[in-house]
Amino acid sequence: MSTRQINSLFNKKILLQATKDSFTKLNPIILIKNPVIFMVGIGSVLTTIAVISGIFSGNFSGFNLQIAIWLWFTVLFANFSEAIAEGRGKAQADSLRKSRIQTMARRLVGDKEEMVAAPELRRGDVVICDAGDVIPSDGEVVEGIASVDESAITGESAPVIRESGGDRSAVTGGTKVISDRILVKITSEPGDNFIDRMIALVEGAKRQKTPNEIALSILLAGLSIIFLLAVVTLPAFFGYSLSASGLPMSQNLTIPVLIALLVCLIPTTIGGLLSAIGISGMDRLLQRNIIATSGKAIEAAGDVDVLLLDKTGTITLGNRMATNFFPADGISESDLAHAAQLSSLSDETPEGRSIVILAKEKFDFRGKEIHQKNAVFIPFTAQSKMSGVNLTDAKGIVHQIRKGSSEAIRSFILNGNGFFPKKMEEKVAELARMGATPLVVAEDNKVLGIIQLKDIVKGGIKQRFAQLRTMGIRTVMITGDNALTAAAIAAEAGVDDFMAEATPEDKLRRIRLEQTNGHLVGMIGDGTNDAPALAQADIGIAMNSGTQAAREAGNMVDLDSNPTKLIEVVEVGKQLLMTRGALTTFSIANDVAKYFAIIPAIAVSLYAGKDGIGPLSALNVMNLGSPESAILSAVIFNALIIILLVPLALKGVAYRPVSANTALIRNLVIYGFGGIIAPFVGIKIIDLIINLFA
Amino acid sequence: MKTQIIIAIKIFVLFTILLGVAYPLLVTGIAQLAFPEKANGSLIVRGHKVIGSELIGQKFDSIIYFSSRPSATDYGAMPSGGSNLGPTSSKLKQLVAERAAQFTGFNQLPPSETIPSEMLLASASGLDPHISPKAALLQVERIVKARNFDDSKKQQLLKSILELSEVPQFSFLGEDRINVLVLNLELDKLDNN
Amino acid sequence: MTTLDIIQVLLFIALLIGLTPVLGKYMYKVFTGEKQFMHPVFGWLEKLIYKFIKVNPDEESNWKSYTFGLLLFNLVGFIFVFLIQLFQAQLPLNPANLPNVSWHSAFNTAVSFMTNTNWQGYAGETTLSYFVQMIGLAVQNFVSAATGIAVIIAVLRGVSRKNTDKLGNFWSDLTRSTLYILLPLSILFAVVLVGQGVVQNFNANETVQTLQGAEQVLPMGPAASQIAIKQLGTNGGGFFNTNSSHPFENPTPFSNFWEMFAILLISAALTYTYGKMVGSTRQGWTIFSVMMLLFVTGLAISLYGEYSTNPVFGHISSMEGKETRFGITNSVMWSTSTTAASNGSVNSMHDSLSPLAGMVAIVNMMLGEIIFGGVGAGLYGMFVFVILTVFIAGLMVGRTPEYMGKKVGAFEVQMAIIANLSTSFVILIFTAWAAVSSYGLSSLNNAGPHGFSEILYAFTSAAGNNGSAFAGLNANTLFYNLTLGIGMLIGRFGVIIPVLAIAGSLAGKNITPNSAGTFRTDTWLFAGLLIAVILIVGGLTYFPALSLGPIIEHLLMNSGITF
């Protein structure tokens, strides 16, 4: 989808729009939503007034003007960061919007159909979609089956099947029917369908602050008030010191200097970037083709510490695969494999193909003889429950090779007056116990042996679970298999726990139990019967291929319908929270250096000797050029750091699946320790540059 | 609400009786039984008159006594007090200079002699009963001269100083010191022999 | 410094570490209702009290009514102490015939003792009768400390419980901390102090004729019993004007050590109780370590400042305002301890401390009295910083910040910020007011930056409920009595109420079990983070004020400049 084209941070169009938006966001009504930046805004206005009144009273101060300019930049940079995050979201939304602009729908009224514009459709309307039609709005297939191209929202070009009844009945507005005809019952009101909601979210229009964001905003506002107290009281302290050093009160701190100090101390960095971080979190999910219905859900994803994972599709490959041949007495494995391959050549199921592949791998059969012989393929039927091939050999005798479940083959052999060896019976039972599926191969009335079909655990999944474990997340495998089978697979995949023969009710009960014990549970599901569990879970991801009920119940939808996504969602959530924490820490840590720049600068004249340099110059550890350049450097650093950190806010801090402690140490070193050091270096460099031009 | 107020008042009355009356009475009872002398102020009686407390310093500026520390209240105990002059106080700077000159002159010390700092700086309570043994030794010559002590008496006095000097409690707590009042009483005793 | 000095410091620290678990475990038993050895002694009295006030100790209440009970009880105490000062001349036990106290001084003193500050704008021996000291102040010494303990116990219940709104029974917490903790310890400490020479009698003042023939009035009174609780309860209000530098309050180096130990004992031990209550003593020790590290750092800086020569006076040690028997080390250990804990008693005159040692004293209080701090108060103040640290740093592990399995949300952050703002507000706004007003400046005893430090110290002490002073400042004026009184109220209840609100909110939450994804709060890493947050969030606000007070004074002193 379009996300892939706008991965670059510096898309010209977005940059341009964001620059424009930075100015429109100066509107105080918009600005006040961000108290920290609003405070800077007020400071900018006051400083500007000071500059202007300076001009009129004849003592214009270039220094004040420079402070005013940089304060305005601070506000603009903060606005810019938000605007660019929104811009990126909007770009995605625009491409979505295109799909539905001119969609006309064929609404069914009674027996007749009428053409209406898509936005006029109401919940409960039924529309007809033929091949080539764009589905006008979210709905559920009530009749028919069709293949649908969902690439507009998923980016996946392969069409998917949507049919009435069952778990694949939901269709999304904006997708296109490729074949056949379906009747779709609309399930959303105008302006509130899936794409509408998605657009609103990524555009940031309906973005509500998430719980963590609110808490953080309170912290930042609180810190700002505390620093405001420190700054407004400073002239009084300063006045005392002036009179104690015998200096006139006219040398007291000016409003621009006080505001410069205030702006440097309040957490403008994180304050300016906070909403950009939130928006880009949503954006990152979207890049993974997941749509969250709220920002809150993304945050909650970071908190999830128990994941309920469906075995099939998440932990194992969707289908069972042949892994072993067990020949009967007197038969070589190679003969068995040969027969198994022959019997499966016509079997186009993944299981069948896997048998062919296994035989090929083990004995390098290439099926070349088949063309030489007169072969008649017997496909799998519901009646026979077998597949196979009839071969006519050189003598003209027909050999019937069959493969199927043990019951089917047994009756096949008994019909031919053969017998089913005891040893084979035992092997079948043993394999079943181990969680594998035994298929028996027979030729005429003789059992040749058994093919073992097994669930294949996805490559790398074990490492993934190990990572999750180090992150403190427990995985629970859900399967309909019996306990024995489930245990075997669970052990192989390395999940922490499993639920065998699980019914949807079991799932719901399990989620409630985990939650009572204080855990936050994430799960992914698709069927209608998953809906209660999806709703109960803290993070419920519905697969896009699933039913409308499931999609409504969950708080995220995975457009790719890939169950492994749950893990990525957790990672995005964690990364979002980490980014906030890291930048908050960075912002607060910055204050140390700013104090060391500004305090000695403003207090240079206090208690000064004949040389005019007061004792507090000892605190000028950065050896900054002049008091003015020191203050200016701090203000400039404070403004520039916002813009420098925009890419980080948008991309998020580097994420690694490690334990909380390791992540903390890493982030602390970079953003805590770095936050103390960076401004010392930055302010010094800016000061050098300023003094170069001065 | 009303019940809460009644509870608050009731428990306050109970605690006042228990902690404001019973507790101090109990401690006083134990104290008067176990350490009557100390509980009543470690008073020193000479003849039939109470002449002070062993713990409370007295003003000594006479030439025949060991001088005590400077005191911001001049050893008045009602109330006690320190100078509260800070480390950059010019007043204190001046006081220190004056006291140093006074101490050197009064005891006829060579100008190079370092004077123990407690003799130049006022105590916290204004009632400090102690000086350092070194400060006492610096005053010996002046007292010997003022009291016309012969050499044996001087030696006795030096011995007394050594005996009366307190080393740190349990050999590690606090500082070396000597109680000026006790020393001066000893001095009077020595003179009367 | 000598080896002896170092031994004294190390022994003090070792004893504190050693006794923390002993007393901490005992207090845990007291508040969980387990049988402990004092039960046979005072158990009957406890039951009697409940019977008399008609309270069922097992009936718990939510945070709001817990707070309400606490405020009500404090109000009763305030009114009582206020009134008996106004009418002390008409009341008994006034052998010195002291007159009635002015209303604003009475207000200040009543607030001061109710809030566990024990700021004294007056001189004890010449202002207050034995009646007021015993019936009024000594009682407040106990109950204000018990109030502090009750708060932290309620907070710990909030942290350790889940899905409930009950924080405990205030009346029973108050009774238990008084009967089982403060009273027995006070009796023990008082008797030992009398053994060292602290007076304990009801005699009138003794007028004596000194050896040189002058008249000297020796103050008397029931001092030991009040000193024991003033130290143990981190109250700090002296029986006599010069507090623990007065030879009748603190006659020997051992009594000094004993009293100094009493300052920190309960607050330190409560960290262990903390650990026990939340089910992990490691959590308690982590907080203890943070407190101890800050304490030792402050002590080291103070000792450095005091043992450095003061160029103004030449190469002599700074014995101004210090007693010979204590010397520098014991005076500085005390000044660090008394300001670290919100005790406020002094054994030397802080006004005369070197700028560095004076700054450490101010900073200890500015940080919010959380380095051991007041009994209960120190720990719940630290709890506020823990919440802030958990929130700021906790995000960095990629989860909603949580403490002890409880999610820290907007409400907790808001309350923590309010608690933090209360003290900042008092210190900064009132200091600024005093620094620009004639009624503020006319009380100064020193000129130059030191004069500014006197004001700063006063309001910092009030906000932190410490009570010590740069005592040169004449604070017994209408302006200071009122502003400091209000400052003490804000500093006390502006923290208690939000902290109890946090506790109430946390109690209602579920507990997320620990896992590798949990932000751990029992590690050295957390201890370091907590220190950083305390210094940066709690301390950095005051950097400008400190620069213009002690820091600039230190620099000026080193250039030999005086005022």
Q: Does C409 touch chain A (CB under 8 A)?
A: yes
| CB within 8 Å of B192: residues ≥ 6 apart | none
CB contact under 8 A, B86 and C11: no
Shortest CA distance from B91: residue in chain C: C563
Of A234, A264, A224, nearest in space to C545 by CA: A234
Please, which pLDDT band fits residue A41 given cuts at 50, 70 and 90?
very high
Beta bridge partners of A401: A389, A443
Q: Does A281 touch chain C (CB under 8 A)?
A: no
Q: Which residues of C touch B23 (CB under 8 A)?
A: 138, 183, 186-187, 225
Please, which pLDDT band fits residue A3 given cuts at 50, 70 and 90?
very low
CB contact under 8 A, B83 and C349: yes
Looking at the complex, report in whole angstroms how far the Cα of residue C507 sits from the nearest Cα belonging to chain B.
Answer: 23
Q: Which residues of C touch B179 (CB under 8 A)?
A: none
pLDDT tens column, C169-207 = 999 999 999 999 999 999 999 999 999 999 999 888 889
CB atoms within 10 A of CB A262: 21
Of A449, A662, B8, nearest in space to C74 by CA: B8
* A608/A612 Cα distance (integer angstroms): 5
Shortest CA distance from C406: residue in chain A: A518
Angle, helices A62-98 vs A255-265, to 10°: value is 40
Average pLDDT over residues B23-38: 95
What is the enclosing helix (H) or strand (E) of C452? helix C449-463
Determine phi and psi for A136, rounding to 5 degrees: -75, -30
Q: Which residues of B touch C138 (CB under 8 A)?
A: 19-20, 23-24
Q: Does A444 touch chain C (CB under 8 A)?
A: no
Radius of gyration of chain B from Cα atoms? 23
Lookup: tokens for C504: 């109430």
Cα–Cα distances in angstroms (integers) from residue B184 to residues B76, B136, C211, C536, in the given order = 19, 10, 8, 55
Q: Is the pLDDT of residue A103 over 90?
A: no
For C17-48, give the DSSP string. HHHHHHHHHHHHHHHHT---TTHHHHHHHHHH
CB contact under 8 A, C410 and A211: yes
Q: Is the pLDDT of residue A204 over 60?
A: no
C-facing residues of A in 319-348 (CB < 8 A) are none
Looking at the complex, report in whole angstroms how far the Cα of residue A553 sits from the nearest Cα belonging to chain C.
Answer: 23
Q: What does the pLDDT read at residue A657? A: 82
* A648/C52 Cα distance (integer angstroms): 65
Q: Is the pLDDT of residue B182 over 70?
A: yes
pLDDT tens column, B90-137 = 999 999 999 999 999 999 999 888 899 999 999 999 999 999 999 999
Question: Among B21, B80, B121, whose Cβ lies nearest the Cβ of C320?
Answer: B121
Q: Is the pLDDT of residue A402 over 60?
A: yes
CB contact under 8 A, A519 and C513: yes
| CB within 8 Å of A567: residues ≥ 6 apart | A307, A464, A468
Q: Which residues of B touch C556 (CB under 8 A)?
A: 88
Question: Among C162, C517, C556, whose Cβ lies nearest the Cβ of A472?
Answer: C517
* A103/A118 Cα distance (integer angstroms): 6
* Cis bond before residue C40 (omega within 30° of 0): no
Looking at the complex, report in whole angstroms how far the Cα of residue A596 sits from the nearest Cα belonging to chain C.
Answer: 10
CB atoms within 10 A of CB A640: 16
* A649/A81 Cα distance (integer angstroms): 8
pLDDT tens column, A232-262 = 999 999 999 999 998 999 999 999 999 999 9
What is the enclosing helix (H) or strand (E) of C421? helix C410-425
Q: What does the pLDDT read at residue C189? A: 96
**DSSP code for A158:** S
Size of interface B-C (CB pairs under 8 A): 366
Shortest CA distance from A520: residue in chain C: C512
Give me the interface pTM, i.e. the ipTM.
0.94
* A626/A691 Cα distance (integer angstroms): 8
* C232/A532 Cα distance (integer angstroms): 58
CB contact under 8 A, C321 and B42: no
Please, which pLDDT band fits residue B6 given cuts at 50, 70 and 90?
very high
More confident residue, A1 or A614: A614
CA A377 distance to own-chain centroid: 47
For C472-490, give the DSSP string. TS---SHHHHHHHHHHHHH
| CB within 8 Å of A647: residues ≥ 6 apart | A9
* A172/C545 Cα distance (integer angstroms): 63
Q: Which residues of C touch B89 (CB under 8 A)?
A: 446-447, 450, 562-563
CB contact under 8 A, A241 and C449: yes
Beta bridge partners of C62: C166
Q: Out of A310, A347, A538, A687, which one is annotated catalytic?
A: A310
* B100/A106 Cα distance (integer angstroms): 110
Q: What does the pLDDT read at residue A2? A: 38
Cα–Cα distances in angstroms (integers) from residue A32 to residues A27, A272, A576, in the given order = 9, 12, 24
pLDDT tens column, C375-408 = 999 999 999 999 999 998 888 988 889 999 999 9
Q: Examine the residue annotation and report whether A133 is marked as an active-site residue of this protein.
A: no
Question: Tokens 């070009």 identify what position?
Answer: A157
Q: What does the pLDDT read at residue C528? A: 94
CB contact under 8 A, C447 and A227: no
pLDDT tens column, C289-325 = 999 999 999 999 999 999 998 888 876 668 999 999 9
Cα–Cα distances in angstroms (integers) from residue C421 to residues A307, C360, C492, in the given order = 41, 21, 12
Looking at the complex, report in whole angstroms how far the Cα of residue C388 sits from the nearest Cα belonging to chain B.
Answer: 34
**pTM recorded for the entire structure:** 0.89
Cα–Cα distances in angstroms (integers) from residue A436 to residues A321, A351, A429, in the given order = 10, 13, 10
Domain ranges of chain B: 1-40, 55-192
C-facing residues of A in 629-668 (CB < 8 A) are 655, 659-661, 663-665, 667-668
% of chain A at pLDDT higher than 70: 91
* C160/C506 Cα distance (integer angstroms): 9
Sign of torsion, CA B90 B93 B97 B102? positive
Please, which pLDDT band fits residue A492 given cuts at 50, 70 and 90?
confident
Is A563:A524 a contact under the CB 8 Å cutoff?
yes
Task: Please state which of the ranges A376-390, B145-159, C505-519 shows the lowest mean pLDDT.
Answer: A376-390
Looking at the complex, report in whole angstroms how far the Cα of residue A580 sits from the nearest Cα belonging to chain C.
Answer: 7
* A262/A634 Cα distance (integer angstroms): 11
Shortest CA distance from A590: residue in chain C: C536
pLDDT tens column, C318-354 = 899 999 999 999 999 999 999 999 999 999 999 999 9
More confident residue, A463 or A319: A463
Lookup: tokens for C195: 């053994």
A-facing residues of C in 364-393 (CB < 8 A) are 388, 391-393
Q: Is the pLDDT of residue A579 over 90?
A: yes
Q: What does the pLDDT read at residue A95? A: 65
**DSSP code for C204:** P
Q: Is the pLDDT of residue A99 over 60?
A: no
Beta bridge partners of A176: A134, A149
Please, which pLDDT band fits residue C549 given cuts at 50, 70 and 90?
very high
Q: Is the pLDDT of residue A393 over 70?
A: yes
Of B163, A365, A269, B78, nearest in space to C219 by CA: B78
Looking at the complex, report in whole angstroms how far the Cα of residue C417 sits from the nearest Cα belonging to chain A.
Answer: 6
| CB within 8 Å of C163: residues ≥ 6 apart | C508, C509, C510
* A265/C541 Cα distance (integer angstroms): 9
**Which chains have at least 3 CB atom pairs separated by less than 8 Å from chain A?**
C
Looking at the complex, report in whole angstroms how far the Cα of residue B115 sits from the nearest Cα belonging to chain C.
Answer: 9
Q: What does the pLDDT read at residue A615? A: 92
Q: Does C394 touch chain A (CB under 8 A)?
A: yes
Of C432, C451, C386, C444, nearest in space to C412 by CA: C386
CB contact under 8 A, C399 and A575: no
Q: What does the pLDDT read at residue A55? A: 92
Please, which pLDDT band fits residue A361 given cuts at 50, 70 and 90?
confident
* C550/C448 Cα distance (integer angstroms): 11
| CB within 8 Å of B110: residues ≥ 6 apart | none
Average pLDDT over residues A25-45: 92
Q: What does the pLDDT read at residue C24? A: 96
Question: Among A226, A581, A588, whose Cβ lies nearest the Cβ of C394?
Answer: A581
CB atoms within 10 A of CB C83: 14
Q: Does A506 touch chain C (CB under 8 A)?
A: no
Q: What does the pLDDT read at residue A1? A: 36
Select the residue from A584, A664, A673 to test the C interface by mutation, using most C Cβ atoms within 10 A.
A664
CB contact under 8 A, B23 and C138: yes
Q: Does A573 touch chain C (CB under 8 A)?
A: yes
Is B190:B156 a contact under the CB 8 Å cutoff?
yes
Q: What does the pLDDT read at residue A6? A: 43
Q: What does the pLDDT read at residue A335? A: 86
Average pLDDT over residues A174-192: 81
Q: Does C93 touch chain B (CB under 8 A)?
A: no
Please, which pLDDT band fits residue C94 given cuts at 50, 70 and 90?
confident
Please, which pLDDT band fits residue A5 given cuts at 50, 70 and 90?
very low
Looking at the complex, report in whole angstroms how far the Cα of residue C486 sits from the nearest Cα belonging to chain B.
Answer: 23
Question: Among C511, C544, C556, whose Cβ lies nearest the Cβ of A615?
Answer: C556
Radius of gyration of chain C from Cα atoms? 23
CB atoms within 10 A of CB B182: 17
Q: Does C516 touch chain B (CB under 8 A)?
A: no
HEC profile of C279-339 = CCHHHHHHHHHHHHHHHHHHHHHHHHHHHCCECCCECCCCCCCCCCCCHHHHHHHHHHHHH
Q: What does the pLDDT read at residue A480? A: 77
Angle, helices A255-265 vs A565-602, to 10°: value is 150
CB contact under 8 A, C516 and A472: yes
Shortest CA distance from C519: residue in chain A: A660
Average pLDDT over residues C435-455: 93
Q: Mean pLDDT across chain A, nearest whole number?
A: 84
Determine phi and psi for A617, rounding to 5 degrees: -60, -20
Domain ranges of chain C: 24-206+216-271
Q: Mean pLDDT across chain C, nearest whole number?
A: 93
Size of interface A-C (CB pairs under 8 A): 225
